[in-house]
Every structure is written in C-alpha cells, then in structure tokens.
Amino acid sequence: MFPCDFAWGAGTAAYQIEGGWQADGKGPSIWDTFCHEKGRVFGEQNGDVACNSYELWEKDLECIQQLGLTHYRLSLSWARLLPDGTTRHINQKGLQYYNKVIDDLLTCNVSPMVTLYHFDLPQALQDQGGWKSPGIATLFDSYAKFCFQTFGDRVKLWITINEPYVCAKLGHEDGIHAPGLKEPGLAAYLVGHNMLRAHAMAWHSYNSFYRTEQKGAVSLAINSDWLEPSRAGCAEDIAATERSLAFTLGWFAWPVFVTGDYPEIMRSAIDAQSKKFGYSGSSRLPSFSKDEPAILGTADFFALNYYTSRKVEPGGGCGETLCMKSDRDAGEVLDPSWPICGVSWLAVVPHGLRKLLKYIKDTFNNPAVYITENGFSQVGPLQTEDVQRSEFYKDTIFEVAKAIQEDGVNVRGYFAWSLLDNFEWADGFSVRFGLFHVDFADAKLRRTMYLSGQEYVKMILKYKSAQST
Ligand code: GAL
C-alpha cells in the first residue's frame, strides 16, 4: 500500500534541539534574542542548551537507528554556518558539525531532508530589517546557494523555508514568536511576501546551477489545518471556510502551485478592509514584480505540515483596527467531537489529514506530497506509556494509507514531529512532542523511547514488509 521507496521519517529543528547557542563561533539568532528577553517564553526558558544535540548528535543518531527510520529531517542553523548571515564569513566549526551529521546519516543508510530555515534568522540580519526588508531575499538566496554547493552532493531533499505562515503571523502580527513584532495587518503580509520571493530565488538557483548534477528536489513546508464549515450546508460558513483556506494554505500554495500570485479572495478581502478602515497606503498585500524570478512552479513536491482540524464560521475580527483576522473575517471553532488531550490548539483529528491530502491533490494538480510534520504533544505529568499518542500515530498513518490507496494521493513520505522532546517555542519545554523522552533535569539529557516511539517502530516494520512483498 505504501510505495517501496516511501520515506519513513521524523523531524527536528536546529534551535529546538541543538543548544550550543554561542559554541565555536556561532552567531546569535532571533530566537536567542527573543528567549533572553523577559516574559517571552513559558517559564523564561530558552534553547541555550535544549537537547544539546550540538554535542550529543551521536545520541540522536542512536535514536534514529532505534526507530528504523529511512529519513531524518533536520534544519541548519543559518547563524551557526554564517554568523552574520552573509557568506563573507563562514564558520568552519558549524560546517564540520553539519558535515558530520549528514555523513553519519548516510553511513547508517538514512537519507537527510534538510530545511534551510526553521524560524531562526541570524540576529545580524534582523538588525537590518529581517524578513520585512526586501533585501532579505537575495541574502537568503546566497545562503541557500552556499548550502546547495556545500551539502548538495549528499542531500537530495531540501526545504527552503519552514512554515512561512507561522513566521509571518506569530512573529510579526501576534508577536508571540521571534522577532516578537506586533504590527497587525501589515508586517505579516510583507514578511510572507519576502519569504515567497526568497524561496523562489533559491529554487531557481538550485534549478539553474545544481539540479543537473545533484538531482535533488526542493520545496517549502506549508502548514495547514483541515478546515470545514461549522454548519454543514450553511452558505456563510462555507464562504468563511474558503476565506480561511485562502488566508492560510492558499497564501503560500496558490502562488507556488497555481497562479504565481495570491488567491483572489485574499487580495479582494484585504483591499475591502483597507477601504473600510480608511487605510490609504499602497496595498497591504504586496505584488510580485515581473522583473524577479517567477514564483509559479517553484516546488518539486508539496511539503505539508499537518497537526489539526477546525470548523469555521464568519467573524473573529479585532474591532476598529486593521488586522489579519478582520481581513479574513473567519473564525475557527472547536468541534466537541474532536478530542483535545494535549496542547489546547491541537484537536486530535487523524481523518482530517486524509481530507486535506485529497484537497491538495485536487487543488494543486496532484503533486507528490511529503508530510513533513505531523504529531501530537503531551502536557502535564509525564507518561512514558503514552497510549493516546500511540493510538494517534496508528490512526493517522492508517489515514495516510487510505489517502494513497483509495484517493490516489501521491504521498511519498511521512515525518513524525518530533524525534525528541525539545524546545517547543513559546511553550518552552512544557510541551513534549518527542518519540523519545528527553530528561531535561539530567545532566546527560538522557533520551528514552516512548511507547509511541515503539509503536512507530512496529508500524514502519509492518508497512515496510508489506511494501516489499
Ligand atoms: C510547527 C513547527 C515545529 C513544531 C511544531 C509543533 O509549527 O514547525 O517546529 O514546533 O509546530 O508545534
């Protein structure tokens, strides 16, 4: 049922696991700065040490091998490689670290999927305007070319940017992620725009200079919930759901996979709101320039991060001010039949993934899809016998199997989030997504496989043996 070369993986991100925030010449990133400011993160926690994967990489490799993964998704810390964000100065120790990680993976027959940017912009670039500044796109492109040049002989699956939606909205509209800006209704659109430009430039660079020789594939990881109208058949709720999808998944997927431009629903809603609130500047949603590399067609596969599903109805704006919520005019409500057993935002809805995969197949011209993140977290007292999470993985992977077999979706891989318990952004270490428990109170940061990890091992074995028969 799963294709014989299906990728069975798990993922992590540099800031969430590496620690070594100042080690061996690494430059600071916006997450270092953000966490060191008071009141930003749960319990004033930070990723200074995290899982210390910078020093304990071999322990992570053991975890990867114990799970029997075929693939491992990691991200590179831009500021560890290029401390001031530019290729003027390369940190050799950072280079050595990632070379070792990649080489070790390959020695163990595990293919790396490498994310270039997972939320941790070099602080030096933030000081020059960060993702709000148009010049960031060429700086990102230089960084990407450096990585393709350096690691591309061995890395065949690339993600340029992880979850531009989250970076844009949580980092620049809500201010709850680094860099902590609250500029509602303005900055997020600009940031999203520059991220799309940066991604497209990097894809074109790969395409022109590296593809023929390296034969890899490049995409960006788009997060999306599955969304349904709150009241089935209700016209207003159906329209609100369409708006919500356009403002999340569509914001990034539409330009890349369908038209080269933003969804029309998004542009007209933003223009209408601007008018309503007497905003007289140029459109808050920027336009793509014809003189720059095209956005359309800049993904070799669809990389999807899926966590949950929601019901949608109109409303949810923020009163007499401009903001993304008012532009969208759609609110998400919880369905009581979808249980929440961990963090408050994550209703457990495995079948939502199947529906979303079918939607992606139909809307984006049947692309090859990698599920680059999916998982479910624990909060509260520790349970190493995490039965609910084990069930979650079983049910979810079964839904993926049905998407492949019954709906004909071309799913090429599944990456559980996450290999290890790690620094869960604004929630610090209070939220555990790992297949391995990490004892953060232990100086050795001991890793122990959860029951859910053991179940994942069994599932991989079971499905792999079915693949080869
Ligand atoms: C994603 C993010 C991951 C991880 C996950 C769980 O948005 O890419 O880094 O934290 O959410 O919340």
pLDDT on residue 342: 83
Query: Between these two residues, 404 and 331, which has the higher pLDDT value?
Result: 404
Confidence of residue 407 (pLDDT cuts 50, 70, 90): very high
pLDDT on residue 379: 81
Report CA(291)–ligand 1 centroid distance (Å).
Answer: 34
The pLDDT tens digits of the residues spanning 325-337 come to: 999 999 888 888 8
Atom 9, ligand 1: which residue's CA is nearest?
Answer: 13
Atom of ligand 1 nearest to the CA of 422: 10
CA distances from 175 to 11, 168, 333, 426 (A): 25, 10, 22, 10
CA distances from 76 to 123, 278, 411, 432 (A): 15, 43, 25, 22
CATH code for position 29: 3.20.20.80
pLDDT on residue 436: 98
pLDDT on residue 316: 79
The 3-state DSSP class for residue 185 equals coil
| Dist. CA 133–CA 126, nearest whole Å | 9
102, part of any domain: yes
Give me the half-sphere count of Cα atoms (radius 13 Å) on the Cβ side of residue 274.
15
Determine if ligand 1 sits within 6 Å of the CB of residue 425: yes
Out of 163, 173, 373, 399, the active site residue is: 373
Please confirm, yes or no, whether 424 is among the known catalytic residues.
no
Domains of the chain: total: 1
Letter string b/e over residues 226-250, b meaning 16 or more CB atoms within 10 A of that residue's CB:
bbbbbeeeeeebbbbbbbbbbbbbb
85, part of any domain: yes
Please give the model's pTM, rounded to 2 decimal places.
Answer: 0.98
Q: Output the average pLDDT for the chain.
A: 96
Report CA(208)–ligand 1 centroid distance (Å).
Answer: 31
2, part of any domain: no
| Dist. CA 389–CA 377, nearest whole Å | 8
Letter string b/e over residues 15-31, b meaning 16 or more CB atoms within 10 A of that residue's CB:
bbbbbbbebeebbbbbb
| Dist. CA 446–CA 364, nearest whole Å | 43
208, part of any domain: yes
pLDDT on residue 468: 58
1, part of any domain: no
| Dist. CA 349–CA 396, nearest whole Å | 8
- Can you give the residue range of the structural domain that contains 79? 7-467
Determine if ligand 1 sits within 6 Å of the CB of residue 13: yes
Atom 4, ligand 1: which residue's CA is nearest?
Answer: 424
The pLDDT tens digits of the residues spanning 270-299 come to: 999 999 988 988 889 999 999 999 999 999
The 3-state DSSP class for residue 162 equals strand
**pLDDT over 90 (residue 404):** yes
Percentage above 90 pLDDT, the chain = 91
Atom of ligand 1 nearest to the CA of 221: 8
**pLDDT over 90 (residue 321):** no
Neighbours of 432 (CB within 10 A): 26
Report CA(418)–ligand 1 centroid distance (Å).
Answer: 9
Percentage above 70 pLDDT, the chain = 100
Phi and psi (nearest 5°) for 416? -70, 140
Atom of ligand 1 nearest to the CA of 424: 10
pLDDT on residue 378: 81
186, part of any domain: yes
Report CA(223)–ligand 1 centroid distance (Å).
Answer: 9
| Dist. CA 421–CA 12, nearest whole Å | 9
The pLDDT tens digits of the residues spanning 413-454 come to: 999 999 999 999 999 999 999 999 999 999 999 999 999 999
Q: Judge whether 308 and 213 are in contact, CB under 8 Å.
A: no
